[in-house]
């Protein structure tokens, strides 16, 4: 037996046939499922003759062993003294340590680590040594199981490699190129972009895939525990070291050590890590024994390590040792084509996890997801989709799940979604676009027309032509005493409206007014509202939409709706630093709209 499963679908990495310990795996009722070579030899049978037999057949007293097996609380990290049955070739006193593995609901297996303690009963010192070795083995079993479980949880948090965007496919090709080598890999990417998943894929496609992938979150290790965490320690090495502990390097022997956020390691500790990587050996804290290891190193960081090296925060020799083969993980904003399949993948996961039945994404929702930049990358997308499922009322509520900054960004995006191949614009609309374009240029240049800093320079138009258009389009500079001017012009009003609409759309009560509305409709509403407020405040822009009463007829806007709207408006005015008098004047103007749209 070359490998033994101690966690479901995860092969145990030790070459257990070289250990001076009998090992076997049984079901929870004591039926033998697997064993190592020493167990076979001591029991005097072949693998075929031992598998599927009861462990009671080989040890006495059977009644006590039955009771021991039936008590699952005693089985996990349990210990029992046994004696070989008379019908076997060996009559020795044994100690068996047990660990529960492959646990799933009410099912589990038992790993038995059995050692002959006949001689140790005669020599207490030798017995204590054997028990210590056995304890180390059990410690290693438990630590590796825990590390693998933690690593699986981290991978599930990011999701599988989903998508077919050019950026993703290019990265996958680099993974395939380096996976089957032992070259060190440096994975670079923003937080939440999937660096852990890339490390896992490299490991699973490598010749080390049967051995463990051990993850170290370098940012979470206190500097005083660095050596102990990486290299382990012996009992009494420092205050609190109450027993021997195996380090991550030793756990990863024959496998892969993943150094996540490697850029967070303090520079004064980097030399110790470099030395162990170069020499492929280490010493436990408090011990003078040098231990050799065969470990492949994969590191990941969201920092620019070249800049860190230039600024003296990262050792240059360690950087070159780690970055033999760099892989850049593209941020989600550069994988726009992957957003839809990722979102659908996460929806199915969330539906299963939360036990909710929800409908599919609408086209408008998918457009919203694709237009957001996702600074938190895949992890943020997953969180948003989970919230959308939790908040669903039969249909997904992406509008409520997206963060406020996403709604502001989406609301401020230009309208580039046109389903027609040819767009026809009326003369009236064209003149309105031209008028607003000229006003934008004048606002940008503080209403200068000519000169290098004038609007004609931005518009690439001579000053006489521009003056003629200003006159024909009836464009006038806002009065310095106007509320428009006091607020700060079009930029400040646009920012206010973006923030206000984002808050209104994401509000649990007011959000109903935007439910099932298309992204184009939402953008048009924002444009008209900005123009309306600008004109109301004495600005140069003109409102060209329908009458306010017509627009809001049938929407059922209640006094409570209006009260919530005003509260958000006050908050937006305050957040943009407008003084009290300006805010009061603004609220008075907006208050005049109430009678036109609110149903009493």
What domains lie within the chain, and their CATH numbers?
Answer: 5-135 (3.30.450.20), 159-330 (3.40.50.300), 333-402 (1.10.8.60), 427-597 (1.10.490.10)
Give percent of the chain above pLDDT 70: 80
Residue 66's Cβ-side half-sphere holds a number of Cα atoms within 13 Å equal to: 4
- Dihedral of CA atoms 16, 20, 26, 30 in degrees, nearest 10, equals 180
Give the DSSP H/E element, type plus range, for residue 600: none
**pLDDT tens per residue across span 552-568:** 766 778 888 888 888 88
Task: Determine if the pTM surpasses 0.85.
Answer: no
Ordered strands of the 213-217 beta sheet: 213-217, 256-260, 296-301, 185-188, 325-328
Look at residue 2 and tell me whether its pLDDT is greater than 80: no
Pull the structure tokens for residue 41. 């030899």
pLDDT tier at 139, thresholds 50, 70, 90: low
Peptide bond into 61 cis (omega under 30): yes
300-331 pLDDT, tens per residue? 999 999 999 999 999 999 999 999 999 999 99
On the question of pLDDT at 94 being above 80, the answer is no
pLDDT of residue 376: 92
Condensed to tens digits (0 to 9), the pLDDT of residues 211-265 reads: 889 999 998 888 888 888 899 888 877 887 778 888 889 889 999 999 999 999 9
Residue 174's pLDDT band (cuts 50, 70, 90) = very high
Mean pLDDT across 450-474: 90
For residue 10, what pLDDT band results from cuts at 50, 70 and 90?
very low
Answer whether 97's CB lies under 8 Å from 76's CB.
no
What is the bridge-based pairing of β-strands 93-104 and 107-116?
antiparallel
> What are the distances in angstroms from CA 101 to CA 10, 221, 386, 581?
11, 28, 31, 70
CA dihedral sign, ordered 136, 142, 145, 149: negative
Tell me, what's the pLDDT at 421? 43
CA torsion through residues 333, 338, 341, 347, sign: negative
pLDDT in tens, 372-419: 899 999 999 999 999 999 988 888 888 888 887 787 777 654 333 344
């Amino acid at each position: 037996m070359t490998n033994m499963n101690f966690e479901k679908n995860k092969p145990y990495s030790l070459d257990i046939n070289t250990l001076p310990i009998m090992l076997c795996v049984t079901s929870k009722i004591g039926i033998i499922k697997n064993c190592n070579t020493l167990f076979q030899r001591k029991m005097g049978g072949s693998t075929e003759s031992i598998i599927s037999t009861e462990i009671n057949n080989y040890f006495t007293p059977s009644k006590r062993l039955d009771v021991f097996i039936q008590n699952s609380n005693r089985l996990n990290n349990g210990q029992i003294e046994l004696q070989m049955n008379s019908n076997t070739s060996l009559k020795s006193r044994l100690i068996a340590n047990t660990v529960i593995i492959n646990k799933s609901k009410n099912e589990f297996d038992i790993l038995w680590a059995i050692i002959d303690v006949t001689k140790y009963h005669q020599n207490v010192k030798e017995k204590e040594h054997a028990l210590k070795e056995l304890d180390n083995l059990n410690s290693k079993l438990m630590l590796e199981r825990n590390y693998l479980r933690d690593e699986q949880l981290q991978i599930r948090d990011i999701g599988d490699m989903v998508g077919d965007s050019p950026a993703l496919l290019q990265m996958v090709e680099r993974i395939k190129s380096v996976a089957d080598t032992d070259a060190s890999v440096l994975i670079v990417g923003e937080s939440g972009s999937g660096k852990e998943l890339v490390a896992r894929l490299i490991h699973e496609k490598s010749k080390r895939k049967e051995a463990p992938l051990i993850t170290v979150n370098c940012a979470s290790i206190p500097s005083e525990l660095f050596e102990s965490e990486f290299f382990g320690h012996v009992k009494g090495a420092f205050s609190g070291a109450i027993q021997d502990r195996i380090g991550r390097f030793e756990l990863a022997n024959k496998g892969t050590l993943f150094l996540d956020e490697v850029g967070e390691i303090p520079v004064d500790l980097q030399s110790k890590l470099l030395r162990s990587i170069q020499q492929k050996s280490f010493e436990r804290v408090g011990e003078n024994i040098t231990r050799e290891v065969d470990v492949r190193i994969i590191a990941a960081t969201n920092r620019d390590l070249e800049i860190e090296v230039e600024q003296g925060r990262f050792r240059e020799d360690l950087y070159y040792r780690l970055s033999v083969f760099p892989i850049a993980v593209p941020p989600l904003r550069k994988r726009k084509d992957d957003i839809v399949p990722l979102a659908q993948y996460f929806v199915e996961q969330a539906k299963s996890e939360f036990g909710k039945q929800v409908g599919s994404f609408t086209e408008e929702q998918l457009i919203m997801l694709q237009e957001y930049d996702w600074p938190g990358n895949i992890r943020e997308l997953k969180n948003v989709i989970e919230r959308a499922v939790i908040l669903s009322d039969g249909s997904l509520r992406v509008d409520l799940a997206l963060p406020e900054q996403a709604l502001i960004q989406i609301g401020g995006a230009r309208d580039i979604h046109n389903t027609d191949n040819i767009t026809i614009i009326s003369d009236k609309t064209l003149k309105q676009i031209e008028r607003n374009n000229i006003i934008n240029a004048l606002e940008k240049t503080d209403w200068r027309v000519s000169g290098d800093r004038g609007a004609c320079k931005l518009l690439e138009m001579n000053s006489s032509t521009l003056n003629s258009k200003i006159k024909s389009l009836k464009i006038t500079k806002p009065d310095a005493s106007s509320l428009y001017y006091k607020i700060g012009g079009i930029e400040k009003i646009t920012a206010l409206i973006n923030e206000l609409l984002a808050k209104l759309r994401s509000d649990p009560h007011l959000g109903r007014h935007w439910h099932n509305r298309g992204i184009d409709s939402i953008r048009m509403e924002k444009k008209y509202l900005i123009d309306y407020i600008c004109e109301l405040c004495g600005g140069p822009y003109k409102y060209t939409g329908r009458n306010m009463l017509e627009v809001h007829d049938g929407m059922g806007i209640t006094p409570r709706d209006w009260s919530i709207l005003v509260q958000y408006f006050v908050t937006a005015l305050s957040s943009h630093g407008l003084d009290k008098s300006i805010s009061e004047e603004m609220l008075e103007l907006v208050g005049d709209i109430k009678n036109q749209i609110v149903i009493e």
